[in-house]
């Protein structure tokens, strides 16, 4: 490269969920979430100021100027005209991260090139090559140092005010606690002096509602005294945090096709001038961040606001959700179990609508051969008890999101009618026995039965949330209609028989078929039951299961036949939504 004109510094925090959920204490997770969310705002401005640089909103014109076409979600790209200042910024930011967020893993690289687009691509390629390289956490511990029982890291301090006596704190946990104290002071200052402090609360609530509600920071429902002054989680619409079943939905959502879009985007812009590229890239990254935030706000307002709770000792209503991540095209939250499905659906519907507006703007700026009308997203929900390890639930939710993406991607590949974008879909799993971090392991161990060399799945793995149903995918609306056929009234089928049937499908397929026939006979012995059974059969046909059959049939890539039905999915939905709502009404 003979004469580079531009220099970039690329930074991205990785394994964010691992960092946030380390230690499994909700108050530490809250602090870690806020810390990561804040990373690309005030700390970035302080680094620029410390180096004597000037932050600008367009392309730098002098060596002392720096611009950030992307800065959100724990990742940013810095653009400079000076190699010396780019190297100084990289060196300072590495030292800053060791102090500000010890143990938070990240990848970083320096790019250079004659055009801005080639410089950015050069930096991204270098960053990808370093993705699996982990920097050592310094200073290193000696063999004689005490280790924290929660994390295994070496202890630097003790929390003398912890419930049950002094608590050992490793360096990351200590940093999170100190950050939480400083953040609380800033929020108090905001309330008293009207200082604008933007955080995760603001992202989900919006500036108009950020002072009207609070989010919980404690799930110790068995011992509310353990929460002390922390805000407990409301598990039902009535009473205290002790009421209701203590299930939560760990939600992770992620956009589809972003890498594909950026590849095409860079390819089209490689011959454009630097100003046009910068404007288009900045418009896309800031617009994507705004679309994700808007989706989070709309889902919070529509789904959670109606279920606000004012618990004893609290002066503001509490919402039944704990924000974890909202940035880029990612979302992670802990939500009350019976509200998790609706939250995902509203979030993704809004995300698609907002990105459609964004892509309309981008398509006017950039003439692409195959323009994208919008972005889609997939989501995964892990339903667990609130006292189960959050980090494992988070891994499972992320894995389920990946499972939904895979199902949507395979449906697009296998059916010529499915063109364009990967459909937005949802995968979920109700943890009743072992908590697996891997979704495929959960399906294999708990939702799969094998009889006479045939494989039977009691799950359809994923459901299409938004848009016209695509071949190879089951619409979420059709699944909900199927689930609506169960209840306690005469017009509905009993869920207990479905549970018994699912058990026999694992143990003895022939006995299960006999039970299914007997279920039909008993149901059709009354007029109400006959109507309920007819409705059940009609809804099953919409999913692909023929009348009188237990499974729909399809083939794996290797040609082996798979038999699938949604019975376990129905049981999970009924347990997390119908039964939780009944318990909430009785609390």
Q: What is the DSSP string of 109-168?
A: EEEEESSHHHHHHHHHHHHHHTTT--PPPSSPPPTTS-B-TTT-PBEEEEETTSTTS-EE
Beta bridge partners of 463: 426
Residue identified by tokens 């708990």 is 446
Q: What is the pLDDT of residue 1?
A: 47
Q: Is the pLDDT of residue 134 over 50?
A: yes
Q: How many CB atoms lie within 10 A of CB 225?
A: 7
pLDDT band at 194 (very low <50, low <70, confident <90, very high): very low
Q: What single-letter DSSP state applies at residue 14?
A: -
| Least confident window among 205-209, 313-317, 484-488, 495-499 | 313-317
Asked if 342 contacts 303 with a C-beta cutoff of 8 angstroms, the reply is yes
Q: What is the pLDDT of residue 67?
A: 95
The closest of 521, 448, 519, 443 to 486, measured between CA atoms, is: 519
Three-state SS for 329?
Answer: coil
CA distance 86 to 541: 61
Asked if 457 contacts 447 with a C-beta cutoff of 8 angstroms, the reply is yes
Q: How far is CA 514 from the centre of its chain?
A: 42
Please count the helices (runs of H) and the strands (runs of E) in the chain: 18, 17
**In a 10 Å sphere around its CB, with 0-12 CB exposed, 13-18 middle and 19+ buried, how is residue 197 labelled?**
middle
Structure confidence by residue, pLDDT tens digits, 223-236: 555 566 678 888 88
CA distance 46 to 55: 11
What share of the chain in percent tops pLDDT 70?
89
Asked if 10 contacts 111 with a C-beta cutoff of 8 angstroms, the reply is yes
- At residue 66, φ and ψ (nearest 5 deg) are -140, 140
Beta bridge partners of 66: 55
Q: What is the pLDDT of residue 306?
A: 93
Q: Is the pLDDT of residue 195 over 70?
A: no
CA distance 506 to 65: 66
The H or E element that residue 24 is part of is none
Both tokens assigned to 429: 């799993």
The closest of 545, 551, 549 to 563, measured between CA atoms, is: 551
pLDDT band at 408 (very low <50, low <70, confident <90, very high): very high
CA distance 4 to 228: 58
Beta bridge partners of 7: 80, 112
Q: Is the pLDDT of residue 251 over 60?
A: yes
Q: What is the pLDDT of residue 464?
A: 96
Structure confidence by residue, pLDDT tens digits, 495-509: 999 999 999 998 898
Pairing label, strands 377-385, 247-255: antiparallel
CA distance 453 to 458: 16
CA distance 260 to 265: 9
Structure confidence by residue, pLDDT tens digits, 50-99: 999 999 999 999 999 999 999 988 899 999 999 999 999 999 998 898 88
Asked if 391 contacts 18 with a C-beta cutoff of 8 angstroms, the reply is yes
CA distance 296 to 289: 11
CA distance 501 to 123: 56
Q: How far is CA 269 from the centre of its chain?
A: 31
Q: Is the pLDDT of residue 573 over 90?
A: yes
pTM of the model: 0.91
| Angle, CA of 101, 107 and 110, to the nearest 5° | 120
pLDDT band at 6 (very low <50, low <70, confident <90, very high): very high
Structure confidence by residue, pLDDT tens digits, 252-268: 999 998 888 888 888 88
HSE on the CB side for 455, CA within 13 Å?
Answer: 15
Three-state SS for 427?
Answer: strand
Average of per-residue pLDDT across 501-525: 92
């Amino acid at each position: 490269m003979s004469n580079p004109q531009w220099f970039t510094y690329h930074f991205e925090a990785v394994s964010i969920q691992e960092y946030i959920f380390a230690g499994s204490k909700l108050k530490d997770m809250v602090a870690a979430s806020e810390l990561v969310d804040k990373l690309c705002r005030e700390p970035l401005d302080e680094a620029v100021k410390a180096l004597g640089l000037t932050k600008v909103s367009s392309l730098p014109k002098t060596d002392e100027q720096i611009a950030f076409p992307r800065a959100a979600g724990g990742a940013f790209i810095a653009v400079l005209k000076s190699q010396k200042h780019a190297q100084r910024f990289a060196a300072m930011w590495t030292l800053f991260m060791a102090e500000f967020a010890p143990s938070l893993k990240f990848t970083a690289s320096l790019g250079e090139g004659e055009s801005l687009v080639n410089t950015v691509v050069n930096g991204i390629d270098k960053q990808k090559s370093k993705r699996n390289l982990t920097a050592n956490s310094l200073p290193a511990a000696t063999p004689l140092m005490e280790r924290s029982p929660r994390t295994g890291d070496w202890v630097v301090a003790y929390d003398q005010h912890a419930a049950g006596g002094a608590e050992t704190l490793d360096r990351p946990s200590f940093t999170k606690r100190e950050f939480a104290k400083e953040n609380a002071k800033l929020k108090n200052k905001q309330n008293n002096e009207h200082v604008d402090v933007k955080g995760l609360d603001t992202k989900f609530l919006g500036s108009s509602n950020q002072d009207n509600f609070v989010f919980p920071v404690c799930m110790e429902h068995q011992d509310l005294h353990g929460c002390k002054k922390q805000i407990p989680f409301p598990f039902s619409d009535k009473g205290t945090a002790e009421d209701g079943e203590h299930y939560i939905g760990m939600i992770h959502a992620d956009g589809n096709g972003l890498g594909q879009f950026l590849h095409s985007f860079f390819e089209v812009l490689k011959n454009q001038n630097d100003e046009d590229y910068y404007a288009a890239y900045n418009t896309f990254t800031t617009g994507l961040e705004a679309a994700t935030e808007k989706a989070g706000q709309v889902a919070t307002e529509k789904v959670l606001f109606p279920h606000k709770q004012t618990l004893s000792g609290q002066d503001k209503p509490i919402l039944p959700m704990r924000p974890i991540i909202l940035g880029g095209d990612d979302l992670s939250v802990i939500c009350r179990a019976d509200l998790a499905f609706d939250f995902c659906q509203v979030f993704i519907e809004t995300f698609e609508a907002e990105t459609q507006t964004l892509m309309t703007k981008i398509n006017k700026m950039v003439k692409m051969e195959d323009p994208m009308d919008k972005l889609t997203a997939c989501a995964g929900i892990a339903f667990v008890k609130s006292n189960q390890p959050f980090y494992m639930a988070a891994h499972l939710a992320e894995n389920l999101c990946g499972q939904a993406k895979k199902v949507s991607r395979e449906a697009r590949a296998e059916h010529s009618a499915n063109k364009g974008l990967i459909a937005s879909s949802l995968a979920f799993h109700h943890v009743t026995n072992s908590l697996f971090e891997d979704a495929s392991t959960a399906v294999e161990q708990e939702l799969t039965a094998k009889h006479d060399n045939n494989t039977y799945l009691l799950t359809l793995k994923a459901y299409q949330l938004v848009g016209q149903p695509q071949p190879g995918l089951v619409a979420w609306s059709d699944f909900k209609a199927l689930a609506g056929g169960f209840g306690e009234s005469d017009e509905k089928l009993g869920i207990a028989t479905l549970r018994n049937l699912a058990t026999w499908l694992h143990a003895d397929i022939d006995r299960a078929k006999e039970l299914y026939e007997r279920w039909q006979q008993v149901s059709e012995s009354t007029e109400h039951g006959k109507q309920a059974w007819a409705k059940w059969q009609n809804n099953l046909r919409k999913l692909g299961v023929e009348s009188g059959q237990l499974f729909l049939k399809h083939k794996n890539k290797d040609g082996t036949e798979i038999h699938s039905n949604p019975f376990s999915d129905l049981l999970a939905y009924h347990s997390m939504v119908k039964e939780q709502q009944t318990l909430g009404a009785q609390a």
